[in-house]
Amino acid sequence: MKRQVYNPYMPSFEYVPDGEPHLFEGRIYLYGSHDRFDGAEFCLNDYVCYSADEKDLTDWKYEGVIYRKEQDPRNQNIPADTPPNKPKFNVEVKNENSLNPPGIHAMWAPDVVKGLDGRYYLYYCLDYLPEIAVAVCDSPAGQYEFIGFVRHADGTPLGRREGDLIQFDPGIFIDDDKTIYLYSGNAPMHKDQFVPQKGSQVMTLCEDMLTLATEPRHLMPDIHEAEGTEYDGHAFFEASSIRKINGRYYFVYSSVRSHELCYAVSDRPDEGYHFGGTLVDIGDVFLNDRAEEEALNCLGNTHGGIECANGQWYVFYHRQTNRTNFSRQGCAEKIYFDETGKIAQAEVTSCGLNSGPLQGEGIYPAEIACQINRNGKQVHSNPLVMKEDYPYLTQDIEDQEPTPELLEQDRIQPVMYIKNIKDGTVVGYKYFMFDNLNRVTLRIRGEAEGRISLFVDTQQKVIGQIPVSVFSEEWVPVTVNTESVQGVHALYFRFEGNCQLDFLTFTLES
């Protein structure tokens, strides 16, 4: 069986959201935040980097930790009695290791650019602090070192001067004429919110990569400015990312919907953008006119960017796990441009970065599901909303937080699975190339008196059905013989009856 890549494309123990992909020297480098399994807040870990040869996206290399949060001077010399960062959302905390060390601010979504001097510059913000910090390295995935804050010409850090907006989710881009553009900001999500220090901005930098050459200017419309315009319902919220493609500028952002990435297009990098559409939505909302209440997966924020590898463009984004917004995993899908430069909304799949459909035989982890819902519905990824009424992705607590040394030695692989499968749950996978599929074996645990039905494509054609009677705390196999299936198809499992199950793997046999 040849090597393949699934969604999520990193190991199941990795939680790297806000993925910003860049092609440097023939490799795609993925920079992002770094969540912690069962974390009580966003981005509790240090920055790590993964990379892959642009001609082989099935093989992602762990480059290691590239920047640690204590390297930022704002995280140094903090009194020992400073209370830890507390969760700013109403969440369950089941693990004391899920909290940040005392007084250490989390590093949020970064971006990286190759500077005019050939070095690599990393731009980031610390959670709710107002500045943009910069670190530099001689290689794309080496050890970055702090060099300073983005600053006004008089040396005042941007964000600290009266009238400055709070900086957020920086995006960095150098145009062909060597002008250095910096994008930043987030905006209100609801119309009843008025926050004067928030908004989308663009500015330019001097060659030192720190000093403002031009002061920030307003760029994208927020929810108050978008009403009645082409941006209505998809106004800017956060996550600025910029690419130049065929002479035009594509601005990717997370909208006020939060669970979608949108794009806008302009002939200039700093003004004149027109709304393009939705790039990807983690619940496939809007695709084929699907409404939010029909979301195929649990909803939550997403953030990412686009990049071309070996002639194919991809959108990188993240999904939610563990009934929270704080354990997010990176995914990616192919995207396609039409003759006018418009990008069709990508479908969430199990095989995004793979060269084509997955092979229709072999053992697959249940976690690569691209659809997990119950009775055709899913809700926001939050324990108070989901309760134990919906299925969700998770891993066992004792498997969490492997050390960097163990990761580098590839000696540990925590197990992720689908938990809390109840009557009416559908788990779906897209897509496989089948060559006479005739048997499927699932590994499940829990309690169930019911049946499992297998479908292809529209969930209308049943290809197999098996009664299930399981009462086990250990993983046990259940096998169903199927009608012969050939060609490219989606595969769905529907669970019916009195059950509460976990789902680990499935094996496809011809």
CB 170 within 8 A of CB 123: yes
CB 507 within 8 A of CB 454: no
Q: In angstroms, rounded to a whole number, what is the distance separating the alpha carbons of residues 465 and 450?
A: 11
Supply the DSSP string of 266-295, one letter for each residue.
ESSSSS--EEEEEEEETT-TTGGG--GGG-
Q: Is the dihedral of CA 31, 32, 33, 36 positive or negative?
A: negative
**Of 14, 18, 38, 281, catalytic:** 18
The verdict on whether omega for the bond into residue 431 sits within 30 degrees of 0, i.e. cis, is yes
Q: Around Cβ 289, how many Cβ atoms within 10 Å?
A: 7
Report DSSP state, residue 298.
-
| 145 carries an active-site annotation | no
| 18 carries an active-site annotation | yes
Q: Around Cβ 23, how many Cβ atoms within 10 Å?
A: 14
82: which 2 tokens?
Answer: 């400073």
Closest CA to 303 of 54, 110, 91: 110
Q: In angstroms, rounded to a whole number, what is the distance separating the alpha carbons of residues 233 and 11?
A: 35
Q: In angstroms, rounded to a whole number, what is the distance separating the alpha carbons of residues 258 and 169?
A: 14
Please give the helix or strand (H or E) that residue 428 lies within, else none. strand 425-456
Helix segments in 19-77, DSSP class H: none
The verdict on whether omega for the bond into residue 101 sits within 30 degrees of 0, i.e. cis, is no
334: which 2 tokens?
Answer: 């192919």
CB 496 within 8 A of CB 450: yes
Place of tokens 């030192």: 208
**Of 14, 41, 238, 281, catalytic:** 238
**Catalytic site residues?**
18, 238
